[in-house]
A and B are shown apart, each in its own frame.
Chain A
Amino acid sequence: MTFRIGPRTSQIIAYILLLVMTSITVIVLFFIIVYIFNHGIGQLSLEFLTDRTREMGKEGGIFPSIIGTLLVTMFAIAVATPLGVGSAVYLVEYTRGGLIRRIISFGADCLAGVPSIIFGLFGFIFFVIKLNLGWSIISGGLTLAVMILPTVIRTAEEAIKAVPHTYREISYSLGGGKLDTIVKVVLPTSLPGILTGIILGIGRAVGETAAVIFTAGSALGIPTSLFSSTRTLAVHFYILAREGISMPKAYGTATVLIIIILAVNFIAYRLMHRFIARYY
C-alpha cells in the first residue's frame, strides 16, 4: 500500500514550493543588481563618466565608451524605427491574413530568435567586409538595427492593433484617406506603445556585446566620424572583466550599464501601462 497525501496537504506543499522557487528567482535578480551596485557605486564620479580611458581601462574613465554607445544605439534606432513602424503599419493596416502577412510575420519571429553571435558574424561579413564599412559606428549600428527590428515591429504591431477600429471609421467617414487616417489618427494614438518598443530596442542595443564587438570594433578613442571604430560600454566592460584589467573599473562600468538598463525598462514599463490603461 502506498502512502497517499490528501488534496489539502498537497495543495499546501505545492503552494509553499512554488512560493519558495518564485522567491529564489526574484532574490537572484535583486542579488545580481545589488551586488554590482554595492561594488560599483563607489567608482562612480564625474571624472569616471567624463574622463578618457587610459592604460587600456586600468586608469581614467569611460567617456569614449559612453559616446560610442550613444552613437551606435542612436544609429541603430534611426534605422530600425522607420523600418519597424512601417512594417507594423503595413501588417495591420494593409494586410488581412494572407500569404504576405504570414511571410512577414514569419520573418520577424525567426529574426527575433536569432542569437546575437549570428548577427555579429553577419554584420562582420556583410557590413564590415563586403560593404567595406570597416569596424565602425555605421557597421555596428546597422547590425544592431537588424537585431532590434523584430522587437520594434512586434511592439508597434500590438500598439497599432489596439487602436479602436471606430477611430479609423470616423476618420474615413469624415473623408480621410488611408494615409491621413494612419498619420493623423492611428500613429498618434498608438505612439506610447510604439515608443515602448523603441525603448526596449534601445535597452537591447545598449546591453549587446557579441553583435557589436565584431562590427563596431573595440577602439578606445573618441570617435571622430560615423566611420570610426568605437567601443561600447558593454564591450568595454567585457574586456575589462575577461582580461582582468581592472575589477573596480569593471564594477563601475557594470553599474553604469545596469542603471541605463533599469531606467530604460522603467520608462518602457510606464509608457506601456499608460497605453494599456487607455486602450485595452
Chain B
Amino acid sequence: MKDKIAENILLLIAFSAILSLLLITFFIFQQGIPLIFKTGLHNFFSISWSPTKGGFGILSMIIGSLMVTAGALVVGIPFGLACAVFLAEFSSPTIQKTLKPIIELLAGIPSVVYGFIGIVILVPFIRETFGGPGFSVLAASIILGIMILPTIVSISYDSLLAVPNTYREGSYALGATKWQTVRMLLLHAARSGIVAGIILGMGRAIGETMAVIMIAGNALKIPGSLLDSVRTLTSTIALELGYAAGDHRAALFACGSILFIIIIILNIVAIRVTGRK
C-alpha cells in the first residue's frame, strides 16, 4: 500500500524532465513559429533584420552561428582529441587522475568569464596582430573552441577507455607501436563516442550566448573574413529580448525555435550514435 503510493508519486516525478522538455518546446514554438509563417519563409530566411520596421530576416545570424560553430570545431576537435588520446593512451594513471578533473574544470568556468578573457586578452591581441576591430569570428571561434574542449575530451576519453584491452594487446603482439595502435585501431573502435562528443560540443558552441556576445562584435551582416564582426542567433536573442515587444519579441522566439530545432536534432543524432538506451 505504502509502496504503491510511493511508486506512483515517483513515477509522476520521473516525468518531470520530459515534461519540462515538452513545456519548453511548446512555449518556444507557440511564441515563435506563427511569426515565421506570418513573415513568410522566404523573408524569414533573408538577410534583412530590422525588427522595429517589420523586417525579420535571420539569414545573416544563421550564417554567423554556423561560422563561429565551425571555427570552434576547427579549434576544439584537434585539441580535444589530442587531450583524450594523450590521457587515455599515453599517460600513467596518476596523470590521468590529475589531468581529467583539471580539464573538466574548464567546463565549470562560467561562460561570462570566457567572454571576459576574450575582451581583455584575445580581442586586443587580434586587433594588434591582424588588424580589424578584434571583435570577430576568429575571437569567437577560439573562445568557443576552448569552451567545447571538455565535452569532446570527456566523451572521447571515456569511449577510448571502453575499448577492450585485448584489442591493444592483439595489436602490440603484431608489433605495432602505441601510436600505430591508436591511429589504426583505437580511434576506429572508439569512433562512435568520439563523434558523439564532437556533436555535443557542436551543440554547446551553437547554443553559447554570453561569451559570444562579449567578443563577436555583433554587427548585423554576413562576415567577409575571419576578422570581421559577426552576430549569432543566440546573441540576437539575448541582446534584444530585454526591450522587444509584439512581433519583435515573437521574432526572437522564432530565432529560438530555429536554434532549438538544430539542438534537438544534434542531440538525437548524438544519442543515436552512442546507442545509449
In the complex, are there CB atoms of A and B closer than 8 Å? yes
Which A residues form the contact surface with B (CB < 8 A)?
7-8, 10-11, 14-15, 17-19, 21-22, 24-26, 28-29, 32-33, 35-36, 82-83, 86-87, 89-91, 94, 97, 100-111, 113-122, 124-126, 130, 146, 149-150, 153, 177-179, 182, 203-204, 206-210, 213-214, 234, 237-238, 241-242, 247, 250, 254, 257-258, 261-262, 264-265, 269
Given contacts A19-B86, A153-B17, are A26 and B102 in contact (CB under 8 A)?
yes
- Tell me whether B180 and A7 are in contact (CB under 8 A): yes
Q: How far is the CB of A130 from chain B (nearest CB, A)?
A: 8
Inter-chain contacts of A237 with B (CB < 8 A): 110, 112-113, 116
Q: Does B15 sit within 8 A of A, measured CB to CB? A: yes
Chain A residue nearest to B111 in the complex (CB): A209
Q: How far is the CA of A213 from the CA of B85 in the complex (A)?
A: 38
- Tell me whether B113 and A178 are in contact (CB under 8 A): no
Among B2, B203, B237, B271, point to the contact of A121 (Cβ < 8 A): B237
Q: Does B121 sit within 8 A of A, measured CB to CB? A: yes
- Tell me whether B110 and A90 are in contact (CB under 8 A): no
- Tell me whether B112 and A241 are in contact (CB under 8 A): yes
Chain A residue nearest to B12 in the complex (CB): A86
Interface of chain B residues 165 through 196 with chain A (CB within 8 A) = 176-180, 182-183
- Tell me whether B252 and A115 are in contact (CB under 8 A): no
Among B116, B121, B256, B267, point to the contact of A110 (Cβ < 8 A): B267
- Tell me whether A121 and B113 are in contact (CB under 8 A): no
Q: How far is the CA of A101 from the CA of B11 in the complex (A)?
A: 10
- Tell me whether B213 and A242 are in contact (CB under 8 A): yes
Which B residues form the contact surface with A (CB < 8 A)?
2-3, 6-7, 9-11, 13-21, 23-24, 27-28, 31, 78-79, 82-83, 85-87, 90, 99, 101-106, 108-117, 119-121, 146, 149, 153, 176-180, 182-183, 200, 203-204, 206-210, 213-214, 234, 237-238, 241-242, 252-253, 256, 259-260, 263-264, 266-268, 270-271, 276-277
- Tell me whether B259 and A118 are in contact (CB under 8 A): yes
Given contacts A113-B270, A117-B256, A234-B112, are A86 and B121 in contact (CB under 8 A)?
no
Q: How far is the CB of B92 from chain A (nearest CB, A)?
A: 13
Inter-chain contacts of B115 with A (CB < 8 A): 238, 241-242
- Tell me whether B14 and A18 are in contact (CB under 8 A): no
Q: How far is the CB of B201 from chain A (nearest CB, A)?
A: 11
Inter-chain contacts of B213 with A (CB < 8 A): 242
- Tell me whether B179 and A113 are in contact (CB under 8 A): no
- Tell me whether A118 and B87 are in contact (CB under 8 A): no
Among A105, A126, A241, A261, point to the contact of B276 (Cβ < 8 A): A105
Q: How far is the CB of A183 from chain B (nearest CB, A)?
A: 9
- Tell me whether B82 and A90 are in contact (CB under 8 A): no
- Tell me whether A122 and B210 are in contact (CB under 8 A): no
Given contacts A25-B83, A87-B14, are A116 and B207 in contact (CB under 8 A)?
yes
Q: How far is the CB of B119 from chain A (nearest CB, A)?
A: 6
Chain B residue nearest to A150 in the complex (CB): B17
Tell which of A103, A177, A241, A257 has the most Cβ of chain B within 10 Å: A241
Given contacts A107-B17, A121-B241, A149-B16, are A115 and B207 in contact (CB under 8 A)?
yes
- Tell me whether A106 and B271 are in contact (CB under 8 A): yes
- Tell me whether A25 and B149 are in contact (CB under 8 A): yes
Q: How far is the CA of A40 from the CA of B247 in the complex (A)?
A: 43
Tell which of B99, B102, B106, B179 has the most Cβ of chain A within 10 Å: B179
Listed from nearest, the 3 A-B pairs whose CB atoms lie closest are: A115-B207, A107-B18, A207-B110
Tell which of A116, A153, A210 has the most Cβ of chain B within 10 Å: A210
Inter-chain contacts of A87 with B (CB < 8 A): 10, 13-14, 16-17
Among A8, A24, A122, A126, point to the contact of B79 (Cβ < 8 A): A24
Give 30 CB contacts A-B under 8 Å.
A14-B179, A14-B183, A15-B90, A18-B82, A21-B78, A25-B82, A86-B16, A91-B14, A106-B18, A107-B21, A110-B264, A110-B271, A115-B208, A115-B259, A116-B209, A117-B237, A117-B259, A118-B28, A121-B241, A121-B256, A122-B28, A149-B17, A149-B20, A178-B6, A179-B6, A207-B112, A214-B241, A214-B242, A234-B110, A242-B213
